Chain A
Amino acid sequence: MSLAQIFRQHPERRYIMFGGKGGLGKTTFSAATAYWLAQQGHRVLVFSVDPQASLSDIFQRDIFGKGPVEIVPNLFAEEIDADRRIRDYQEEIRRKILDMYGLEAVPDEIEDYIRAAAAEPAMEESAIFDAVVDIVVGQDYDYYIYDLVPLGHALYYLSMASVYDQWIAKITALRQEMEEYAQVARIMQRREEMEEDKILRELQEIRYRINTSSSILTDRQKTAFFFVVIPEEMIILDTLKAAQLFARFRVPISGYIVNRVLPPELAEQDIPEYLRNRLEMQKKYLAEIERTFGQEVIARIPEFERDITGLPMIERMAQAMFGEE
């Protein structure tokens, strides 16, 4: 089955992800898929969850931190500015403290904590993770295309979601138990008014956000996850390992796309030894990919004579991915 057929047969799969090691073409495929879907008349948002995002480079337009930017009609691209999001978030917390307690300034100790928390290494990932929730709950688009982080990070991202979720579930339970004790005391003292626990509500909100973000990643109905591989030994082995790990996190894998395939016609031409060797090597590993992933390989994308940047190249790539044979 071709990529185009898969998309036509499953219009309900609205969250599209390309995963794979760094530099194999995830961003290229994300951009080209978004372009093709927009051409088909769908409203599409392609966004980056990578702090080192490269959508700006591929579209040759600075979209960093500018929200959704319309590239061509129906095609929107967004790069999340994690730093700014963290700064805004810190400011929001400070405001809340000042308002709640009618203070002129945030107490030193609290201020130190707010600053230190923002410097934590996981902060950036968490901020992006959280930003994704705002993007996907908006429901403004027919398709959401995740330009994912490289494999290792993506796994971290997935495991972070499940760890967060369990963690929040535990403290929510603790909080609920606390409420019960408080209620006992109130009944004994015959005080009727029961103040709502704001912290509990906040925890439930956090849990909802984490679940929204992570449930999409594992939604069999609405999500399509494609692995990007290239015909090289290391990549095949790593992809196999990663696919097993992803399967354990119940990520619905929709297929594998082989990138950077040298055009086989080259072999009939007069080419240097170097290129001939590479062709031979690829032939071997393409057969290996066939053996390993079989039916699940849904597209083989040729190596282009130049890198994919700018709309004309993206269009060519979309043609290579979705053009009907």
Chain B
Amino acid sequence: MPEEEKKSGGFWDAFKSILYGMAGHDMARYALKTRGSMEHLFILITMGDLLGIPILPPYYSLRILPYVVPQIATWKRRMLRERDLTDALA
């Protein structure tokens, strides 16, 4: 019996995956992209000093620093790179 359940479950899962691919994936991608942009905005307003733009009182931005250490490299690249037309397509 459990064997059979697994089978039908497998089919059901596959079906859901297809459905997700058709409808949900784009939305999820969009949501994650928006969140990514906001993440960069967030780091800018908390860690602006790193670019020479002090925004948050540094005493409190230090408290947040440990959590954003991994993002800082990509964030600086994103903030400081030059932009061109292809950015709009991304």
Contacts and interface: CB of A to CB of B under 8 A. Distances in A.
Interface stretch (A113-121, A232-240, A287-295): A113-121
Contact of A107 (B25, B39, B60, B69): B69
Interface string B10-50: 00000010001000110111011011001101100111011
Would you call the interface of chain A mostly helix, strand, loop, or mixed?
Answer: helix
A109 B72 contact: yes
Interface in A123-155: 123, 126-127, 130
A181 B38 contact: yes
Contact of B59 (A101, A109, A123, A178): A123
A281 interface: no
Interface residues of A, number: 43
Contacts of B58: 117-118, 120, 122-123, 126
A304 interface: no
Nearest to A171: B45
A256 to B, nearest CB: 33
B65 interface: yes
A188 B25 contact: yes
Interface string A152-190: 000000001000100110010011011001101100111
Given A126-B57, A178-B35, A188-B31, A101 B70 contact: yes
B48 to A, nearest CB: 11
A120 B68 CA distance: 21
B9 interface: no
Contacts of B56: 167, 171
B63 interface: yes
A178 B64 contact: no
A206 interface: yes
Interface of A: 89-90, 93, 96-97, 100-101, 107, 109-110, 113-114, 116-118, 120, 122-123, 126-127, 130, 160, 164, 167-168, 171, 174-175, 177-178, 181-182, 184-185, 188-190, 198-199, 202-203, 205-206
Interface of B: 16, 20, 24-25, 27-29, 31-32, 34-35, 38-39, 41-42, 45-47, 49-50, 54, 56-70, 72-73
Q: Lowest 7 CB-CB distances: which A-B pairs, in order?
A: A126-B59, A188-B28, A117-B58, A181-B35, A185-B31, A188-B24, A184-B31
